[in-house]
Structure 1
Amino acid sequence: MTDGRRDASELTLPVHPVDFRAGAARRFGVLSPFDGLIVESVPNTDARVLAASFSDALRAADRLHSTEGVQERLRSWARRIDVRREQLARIISVETGKPIRFSRVEVEASLELLHACCARQSVRLHREWTPAQAAFSIQNWCDPILTTVSEAAGVLSSGRALVIKPSSRAPLASLALAALWKHGDDLDALFCVAPSSDAVGMLRASLTTPRVTEVRFRGSRDVGTFVTRSCQEAAMPVTVFPDQQLPLVLYALDNVDAQCDAVVNAVLIRPVPSVAERVSCVYVHDHIADTVIAALCEKLSQLRVGDPLADETDIGPVIDDVAVALLSDHVEDALFSGARLPGAHLEIAGKTIRPLILDEVKSFMRICSEDREGPILPVIRFSDPLELPDTTCLTIQSRLSKTTEGDCGAASIRQSAQCAPHLF
């Protein structure tokens, strides 16, 4: 409910009801992962304010007779986003640490998704016997523009209202999109972003609000399980979009340089998720492992780490100190269990971590089985296809053109890693 892989810490926070409309507004600061400075402070929404937001949203939805007006508003929203795409990209980079050129790809992907949604035909809504409904969405900090646009386009196009609780680490992008949504008319209330550091209180409030008919969650598997269980106990429909981690298999080398570029793109350089999967580890056949690891070490040494707002940066900082501690813990656990760091050591400067490879990793290690953040590439060596996991794997295509910096976008990643069974 906060930051994807470390949401659980927010589950223990108590509910502190505060009435914003009585003038006693609380706020919390949004910190830059790069330098730790406060970027901006935002309202810390409480349960009563959330209930008022739902009431306004449902009244707006009650007035809809078709989705035609919503579709037109989505088209206007897309035009406004297009005009401010650079500003939105900078917001993503500042609050999440994603390198600016990848943030630009995220905004572009969001616009493509929104244009596709706008092309749909409007539908008539039968409000005389079907009451308006609302959905409550809890989001993590990853890809904030893309996930907000995706949620809004999907829910609003069905004639429902939507209230989003963004990550407390990265609420600014969603708030910026909410500001671009507003035109000063009845449709404004259909879409609301309510930042809060009290995820549990927000969830409880949504579960007890009449005509909220769905809770949606994007984030870590552990917190997704918590949200699902809470919704089931309240008999509330829930839609969870968990991060899916799949192994990537490399078993033949037609072009070492190109395929290692593709591995780096698939694992470390992710402007937007490729087919919604993240790589848990890389399986490399024994007979090519030494060659591959040497080439990958060389590739990683060339990656530029630093300020996410610099155009040349490849790897920005991780989101917070908890991510740093978790990554360090994963590396220490792997080394203790027999993994090794070939020709490198863990370099941490604040929240900036130099990318590295962990060799001779085993599938049971925490770095493979748990959600993780950070520029770490775990490599598992295998000698027989039977040693591969009995699940779907990602595979690097047998022939790839050499990846260039300009190719480090969503299309490049989709070309360099495809979802398929392992090919043996």
Structure 2
Amino acid sequence: MSIKEITFNTKALVGGEWVGTARSFAVYSPYSGEAIAQVADCGEAEARRAIEAAVTAFETWRDTTAYERAALMKKWHALILRDEQTLAQTIAMEMGKPVSEALGEVRYAASFVEWYAEEAKRIYGETVPSQFAHKRLFAIKQPVGPVYGVTPWNFPAAMVTRKIGPALAAGCTFILKPAEQSPLTAIKLAELWLEAGGPPGVLQVLTTSDPVALTRVMMADERIRKITFTGSTEVGKILTRQSADTLKRVSMELGGHAPYLVFEDADLEQAVKDVVACKFRNAGQTCVCTNRVYVQQSIAEAFSQKLAQAAAGLKVGDPLDPSTQIGPLVDAQGLEKVKAHVEDARAKGAAVLTGGEATGGLFYAPTVLTGVREDMRIMSEETFGPVAPVITFKTEEEAIRAANNTPYGLAAYLWTRDLSRAIRVAERLEYGIIGLNDAVPSTAQAPFGGVKQSGFGREGGHWGLEEYLYVKYVSVGVV
């Protein structure tokens, strides 16, 4: 991948115009610590303006044909792929994801736009038999209305398109608030939307350093009919409570604490490879990456040694270097949490097989811990860093109980070659996503979302489209 200089657009998209603001805030490189851009800092005035534009645009956008929406989204998809190198470099610069991994994210992000461009033409209604000869009964699906979406910093492209794709396909307008750590990718995606011919007000991007003030305006306005949020469980609960006053439709993709169960019949080499892929991508900063690795006792020592060897061999460095596999953590707060989890585990008796230390800047060495117990912080809190705690178990029942012993239920994984065990365990794990001998199960056409305190609602596939539609019943008297 060739690295080139990028000139960032630092304005917000309100209506169909790029808008500057009196105040701005800095976006910092997690790698260098330097400010790479000063971005428009939107407040209540811009929020209200965006709502008016979204409401106005919705009157027209909802009446466009599915084929018109699909054609426009396909143009957007082509432009995203055209500029995939620039988008990947932007992701690497603003949030530290290795550029080769960021390129995979951009293609994943584009796949949502492509999928929902096709799904726009598959919003079907139904006819219902009537008990009366003079009546015809129909159920049709229509867009819920203007949407407010809040996306996280760790997937600044894919989390945007996973929400916007189905919303636009359904006929909704969308106001996006990207994370303040990584807004530049969202701005670039909005530029490409306009280049594709996106109508004014259909997609808007409001960057801000004060998400509370901006979100307060969105949540209070009853014309915003849906809120979709990806982030922490704590913030998700606040937004869910706020949505009650105007009874907005709500989708929440919240925290996780994913277990990875490795049974004694596993292909050891492949299982280690898969756990590394699941745990250490994006330096462990993904909501579905494994946080607890449960290994059956008979293979635990061999597995742990191989996992430590693999983790120690990961290349840590500049995210713009195509050979880098582990970049920096996104900010100092994230680094401190990782350090605290490892220090707590060590103090309570865990052994460090590799890593276990900050290595300068926002970097933390890929780490494998053994001797991990349930009373350690790393077993109850989402670490969001490159640390793999290994816990042993004896029986299938014990493994299932331990895996489910959490308030979260987003993703879980298991490795086994026993078909009966695979079915039993997959059915009993209390999670919305199961990776069975599959460390990276997410794909555009499948449902993504959790249970328990990991949220509700689904993104991806036709399930994601349903989140932006409501059912209208029409009863027709035939006279």
Q: TM-score range by the shorter chain?
A: 0.7 to 0.9
Q: 1:31 aligns with which of 28, 31, 41?
A: 28
Counterpart position of 2:194: 182
- What's the Cα RMSD here? 2.9
- Give how far 1:191 is off: 0.2
Counterpart position of 1:328: 339
Give the TM-score of the pair, scaled to structure 1.
0.83
Partner AA of 2:78 in structure 1: R
Counterpart position of 1:288: 299
Structure 1 287/209 Cα, relative in aligned 2: closer, same or farther at 3 Å?
A: same
> 1:262·1:396 contact (CA, 8 Å) conserved in 2?
no
Structure 1 regions of 5+ residues with no counterpart?
A: 1-19, 400-412, 420-424
Matched, 1:368 2:390: no
Counterpart position of 1:298: 309
3-state SS, counterpart of residue 94 of structure 1: helix
Partner AA of 1:116 in structure 2: W
Structure 1 132/341 Cα, relative in aligned 2: closer, same or farther at 3 Å?
A: closer
Judge which range, 178-187 or 323-332, deviates more: 178-187
Counterpart position of 1:263: 275
3-state SS, counterpart of residue 253 of structure 2: strand
3-state SS, counterpart of residue 33 of structure 1: coil
> 2:413·2:437 contact (CA, 8 Å) conserved in 1?
no
* Cα deviation code 1:74-101 (max 9, x no counterpart): 1111111111010001111111111111
Counterpart position of 1:3: none
> 1:60·1:186 contact (CA, 8 Å) conserved in 2?
no
3-state SS, counterpart of residue 54 of structure 1: helix
Counterpart position of 2:351: 340
Structure 1 354/114 Cα, relative in aligned 2: closer, same or farther at 3 Å?
A: same
3-state SS, counterpart of residue 352 of structure 2: coil
Matched, 1:377 2:375: no
Q: How does 1:88-107 map to 2 (within 5 A)?
A: 88-107=87-106
3-state SS, counterpart of residue 164 of structure 1: strand
- Give how far 1:230 is off: 2.2
Q: 2:64 aligns with which of 58, 63, 66?
A: 66
Q: Matched residues in 1 for 2:55 and 2:82: separation?
A: 30
Q: 1:43 aligns with which of 20, 40, 44?
A: 40
Q: How does 1:194-205 map to 2 (within 5 A)?
A: 194-205=206-217
> 1:32·1:39 contact (CA, 8 Å) conserved in 2?
yes
3-state SS, counterpart of residue 170 of structure 2: coil
Matched, 1:147 2:146: no
* Cα deviation code 1:100-137 (max 9, x no counterpart): 11111111112222211111344699xxxx89821101
Structure 1 142/46 Cα, relative in aligned 2: closer, same or farther at 3 Å?
A: same
* Cα deviation code 1:45-80 (max 9, x no counterpart): 101111101211221111232343322221111111
Q: Matched residues in 1 for 2:373 and 2:53: separation?
A: 52
Counterpart position of 1:75: 74
Q: Matched residues in 2 for 1:287 and 1:150: separation?
A: 41
- Give how far 1:148 is off: 0.8
3-state SS, counterpart of residue 346 of structure 2: helix
* Cα deviation code 1:340-377 (max 9, x no counterpart): 21255413311011101111112342212212221100
> 1:67·1:124 contact (CA, 8 Å) conserved in 2?
no
Q: Matched residues in 2 for 1:22 and 1:270: separation?
A: 32
> 2:334·2:384 contact (CA, 8 Å) conserved in 1?
yes
> 1:143·1:272 contact (CA, 8 Å) conserved in 2?
no
Give the TM-score of the pair, scaled to structure 2.
0.74
Counterpart position of 2:456: none
Partner AA of 1:119 in structure 2: E
Q: Matched residues in 2 for 1:286 and 1:415: separation?
A: 19
> 2:120·2:169 contact (CA, 8 Å) conserved in 1?
no
Matched, 1:228 2:240: yes
Counterpart position of 2:414: 395
> Which structure has more strand as a fraction of its residues?
2
Structure 1 316/21 Cα, relative in aligned 2: closer, same or farther at 3 Å?
A: closer
> 1:132·1:211 contact (CA, 8 Å) conserved in 2?
no
Structure 1 209/395 Cα, relative in aligned 2: closer, same or farther at 3 Å?
A: same
Q: Matched residues in 2 for 1:114 and 1:103: separation?
A: 17
Counterpart position of 1:311: 322
> 2:231·2:254 contact (CA, 8 Å) conserved in 1?
yes
> 1:30·1:39 contact (CA, 8 Å) conserved in 2?
yes
Counterpart position of 2:135: none
Structure 1 136/111 Cα, relative in aligned 2: closer, same or farther at 3 Å?
A: same
Partner AA of 2:304 in structure 1: I
Partner AA of 1:142 in structure 2: N
3-state SS, counterpart of residue 372 of structure 2: coil
Q: Matched residues in 1 for 2:82 and 2:296: separation?
A: 48
- Give how far 1:250 is off: 1.2
Q: Identity over the aligned pairs, expressed in percent?
A: 25
Q: Matched residues in 1 for 2:249 and 2:74: separation?
A: 29
Counterpart position of 1:417: 439
Structure 1 376/24 Cα, relative in aligned 2: closer, same or farther at 3 Å?
A: closer
Partner AA of 2:289 in structure 1: R
